[in-house]
Amino acid sequence: GQNIDQPTEMTATEGAIVQINCTYQTSGFNGLFWYQQHAGEAPTFLSYNVLDGLEEKGRFSSFLSRSKGYSYLLLKELQMKDSASYLCAVRSDSNYQLIWGAGTKLIIKP
Amino acid sequence: GAGVSQTPSNKVTEKGKYVELRCDPISGHTALYWYRQSLGQGPEFLIYFQGTGAADDSGLPNDRFFAVRPEGSVSTLKIQRTERGDSAVYLCASSRYKGGDYKGVYNEQFFGPGTRLTVL
């Protein structure tokens, strides 16, 4: 079957760094997305990886290792507004359908 | 510019009733997706449209669910004989192109705010 795993919940301190991991087993691979979802709101796009390595975008970075079926999202200089769920999604070989993880709820403490 | 819009934002109905949920995608986006999301879960794929046709409806849970996109823009998700288990947030998303990467564009999906459906 196809599966995306990520931790259910993480807690971090304002100003610190946090890494949210995602592992996947899918029938194919055509890109991995990270989305942010605040409570009661729609997911919003954060990052995309299709080749191995690190993609940096301001305070957020995303890493991919295709051979290991592994990605992480790195958030630096955490702010209270970063409290949200972070969803990992893989686009399989069907090219359009995204397979979603259950999301990691990130709690930021002052 | 305008994002994806969905109406209504909230819908409360009684078991057995019929409901329609509407999605207005970003102008010019050819691909449209319906998902539903339960609390603490990621979105669950329901159906994908490319233009007017349903390219993949494999995620629709049963024949009570149906969706249309007659003019290749607005889409309506229709649920007949609603059941309590249908209660969820129904999300619509659109993307500019069909398929995966297109000329280096991520072709990410843009989501609407969702319709929260509650079946009593």
Q: Looking at chain B from residue 73 to 102, which residues have their Cβ under 8 Å from any Cβ of chain A?
A: 91, 95, 98-101
Taking CB atoms and an 8 Å limit, are A43 and B111 in contact across chains? yes
User: Checking DSSP bridges between strand B115-119 and strand B10-13, what pairing results, if any?
Assistant: parallel
- pLDDT attached to residue A53: 96
Q: Which positions in chain A have a beta carbon within 8 angstroms of at least one beta carbon in chain B?
A: 4, 8, 30-31, 33, 41-45, 48, 50, 87, 89, 91, 94-103
- pLDDT attached to residue B14: 97
Taking CB atoms and an 8 Å limit, are A48 and B108 in contact across chains? yes
Give me the helices (H) in chain B, please: none
Asked whether the beta carbons of A4 and A99 are under 8 A apart, the reply is: yes
Is B61 in CB contact (< 8 Å) with chain A?
no
Asked whether the beta carbons of A26 and A90 are under 8 A apart, the reply is: yes
List pLDDT tens digits, range A32-62: 999 999 998 999 999 999 999 999 989 999 9
**Number of neighbouring beta carbons within 10 Å of residue A78:** 19
Is B39 in CB contact (< 8 Å) with chain A?
no
- pLDDT attached to residue A12: 97
Write b or e for each residue in B60-91: b if 16 or more Cβ atoms lie within 10 A of its Cβ, otherwise e.
beeeebebebeeebebebebeebeeebbbbbb
Is A44 exposed, middle or buried (CB count within 10 Å of its CB: 0-12, 13-18, 19+)? middle
Q: Which two tokens stand for residue A68?
A: 């290991």
User: Checking DSSP bridges between strand A9-13 and strand A104-109, what pairing results, if any?
Assistant: parallel
Percent of chain A with pLDDT over 70: 96
In Å, how far are A21, A69, A108 from B114, measured between CA atoms?
A: 27, 30, 25
